[in-house]
Structure 1
Amino acid sequence: MKAVLYARVSSKEQEEEGYSVPAQLKLLKEYARKNNFKIVQEFIDVETAKRAGRTNFNQMIEFFQLNKDIRFLLCEKTDRLYRNFKDYVNLEEFNLTIHLVKENEILSKESKSHQKFIHGIKVLMAKNYIDNLSEETKKGMLQKAHEGYYPSFAPLGYFNVEKNINGRKIKAISIDKSRSYIIKKIFELYANGNHNLQQITEYANQEGLRSRKGYKIYKSTIHKILRDPIYYGNFTWRGELCKGNHHPIISKELFELVQERFGNYNRPKQIKKHKFAFTGLLTCGICGCAITSEIKKEKYIYYHCTSYKGKCGNTAIREENLIQKLGELVNKIQIDNNIIDWVREALNLNHQDEKEYHNHQCKLLQEQYDKLQRRIDKIYIDKLDEIVTSKFYQKMTNQWKEEQDKILKQIEKHKKANVNYFEMGIKILELSKKLYSTYLERNNEGKREILNIILSNCSLNAGNLYPIYRKPFDLLAKGLTRSVWLPG
């Protein structure tokens, strides 16, 4: 049987923790040999902080398109294969038989509902969609902002760096000396009143200031720079002004002088645009165009077809009616109370290999820790016996203790992974139970986040909604009970 092999490592941290490409290849090739698979193609992706993306995954998709006789795919486990639901859907189109070797799972079109459901849960865990729903990611970034560290890409004049603060690695920003003088000059030129935005834009481009992607600077970029408090030491994050820990490029006095000059031009204040929470979520059920939104009589919000292909006759819907109908879609995601207990057991059994792996890694790391401790004990005796000098003793002891600290951190990560993977699956189910009540409690932006998680697509036709749910919510939307899909 001909098969394709796929391996991926996404960070240096995973490389260190046993997920390395060689380790994956060894496991997969041994599996192929035992199960009489002939590997006809290998696709390997190595991602780093500087190089993201999955070039070879996309090439694998093209390979399956061109080679319709090859329908077996071998991969270590779920989170090595999928990064998002698009990956999931793309592979499903090829009617593949996927062997997830470390999870002892074989998935195909003929797989039972309970297998597909558990697999869908794993995909959710691999992507960590639970973070989006609980807003933990946003909370983490906001906490980082409150601590004074800018939690995003560095603005022009700065670059991103990694700092070690009290043993904790923090991503921060530092002054880019090759560009910061241009930024400072931009503020000075505008403050003196003799240069307009267009002239300053021309100056910045002549000096070689470029965007992060290497493009020339536009006037709008200069305007944004001149309005950004990050250059005097503070920054705004989610509408809140935070005191930064980074070094400023200009003084606060110069920044305020520039703002004063903006005010002297009596520029009209920017009209606050209304945020249409559900724009981009729906498509027209008649012509397939996007559904857009507008305010009528300065208070009523309507969603309607863009009519990009010409008027199709589809009717508009008021936002409050749309919210109600979208809520009905959320409310369709039902799960029988008895199923949660069964899924807890199924997840537990399904991840025995995962637990054994982490326990094994903890054992190996503990052995390394104990070995270093024996060295420390021995060299202490050697120092007392004057076999080694105090200087050499101190040097080696510090080195080995530093290695021990790193080992303890790795042990802790494996212990957490051992528990978190299982708990996350259960949490997804628990959230599914109360998804509708959460939807009702959220503001419109929060409602949109929930809809983004559960819906793959949704069309509007004559005031009615026709959803396509993401996996595994498509199964839950059917209101499946234990008797309907329980294996056996």
Structure 2
Amino acid sequence: MSSYLFYCRKSSESEERQVLSIDAQIVELTRLARNLQLRDFEVLTEARSAKSPGRPVFNAMMEKVSRGGVKAILCWKLDRLARNTKDGGEIVWALDRGDIQEIITPHTTYRNNSNDKFHMQLEFGMAKKYVDDLSDNVKRGNRAKLERGWLPGLAPLGYLNEPRERTIVKDQERFPVVRKMWDLLLQGTRPSAICKIANEEWGLKTRTFRKQEGGPLPLTTIYRIFSNPFYYGLIEREEGIFQGRQEPMITEEEYWKAQEILGRRGRPRPKGHHFSYTGLIRCGTCGFMITAEEKCNRYGSHYVYYRCTKKNRRVACREPHINLLNLEMQIGGQLERIFVPQPLLDIALNYLRQEEQEEEQQSLHIRKSLEKAFHDCERKLQNLNHMRLKDLINDDEYTKEKRLILEEKIRLEKGLENQSGYYKQARERTEKTLIYAHEAREKFENGTLEEKRTILQEFGSNLLLRDKKLIIEAEKPLIILEEGLSGFQSKNYPIEPQINGLNQSAIGHVDPVVRTGCTRREDVRTFSKKLGNSGRQKQLMKKLVRTIFEFYKSSLVKKDLPGMSDRDAV
């Protein structure tokens, strides 16, 4: 085995075209070996990029090093050995382990000492950064070119890269021939026959490059052409899909017709059915999701119904299906029970605005009080420090008192930060709840499928369908609102309550079934007209709003306290 190894590498990639060729590297290293009087060396050459692991010659060289007997590796520069962290680490580790004694370059010799290994790691890190920066720059340039509508890289057959303007133009020689190939495909000719006609009858050849002569078209190139949307003006890259500015060769309709002829996936089509509530409701018997289907009877009428997927193999689910009309009647009935008429909404919003003005006045006094208490804590802390310095108290007393003062200081500081934040958030959430209760019913009746889905999601969670009855865990503010509205309407049936933290006995019997006679729109409209300047009605509405507001505010406050969960907040 040779005692010294020459490693000469030349990458074929553009960023290293200015590096010495392999022959020039061998000449330089031979001269260096002669000056150092080195004998018994072996030359290893490789034309591969070093930006990623996997070079065969380099790996074989490291195997020789690990077997022992190699005194040193000679290279033009360290970046000839590695431009990635794995290969660079192998070189440093071989030197650190003593498998080789030196890494020799015409400029520096690296030995097994801390300074040399540190500088080697810096060199390899700089080489890696160069590759990464170059990659980022290329990607950024490609994105910019794609956004301008031009394809980075080599243009497909039938087009040419225009170097001066950096655009893509028609290849006057090949463009008409490639267009004829598309015509043959659209007429039903097999791609193999098209390939034979293009090569033998038309004499079509690939383009000639500096290191590659033009030749006949392989069949794979024919298939690549017929699957490329570039020909109708679309550029598909890993960066995304972009509208190209090149002159299209075919129309979009012709392209998708060609895909169908080739037996590939045709033009993406929208789904035939859209269902609002799939993925939201679970079966009350087996716990699996509820799906939807559309059926057509013998008279041509279409019906949508929801049913259990029945995928639970352990439970024989016998849950019956429910018609879409029945399901939406139940949802609409529950939205009816939280409906806030416009007069009540006006009372509620006006009350919140008045409360906000009063809160702003009170917050000034509260803030002054908090600031005074905060400064008192700072003063107590200073006095405590002076007492400890004068040995008026021992360490245990000092630690105990300091902890109490610091806890009080943190509490006051947090109060100063959130002094007005809790009120604002609680007010905004209260307004949102009231507006939702006012608008949800009408939007659900007249909205799109997506709007209906959104309204149901905001209404509650843990939706269950059992015995054709929809059970919803309504949000706590909506339960409070439904209870409060019972003071305005005599007939009322509560919404299904939440499990966490609610006293169901206080709410009353829960009946998830929609009782169609409990709230009729005519009764609600008649009732709404009677609302006006009644002092009792205003007081009831203010009390209801205040209850919802206090719920939100207490939830926000308790949520920020250490060890307090959302369940505790409820």
Measured against the shorter chain, the TM-score band is: 0.3 to 0.5
Select the structure that is richer in strand: 1
Give the TM-score of the pair, scaled to structure 1.
Answer: 0.39
Greater length-normalized contact order (CA 8 Å, ≥ 6 residues apart): 1
Q: What is the TM-score when the length of structure 2 is the normalising length?
A: 0.34
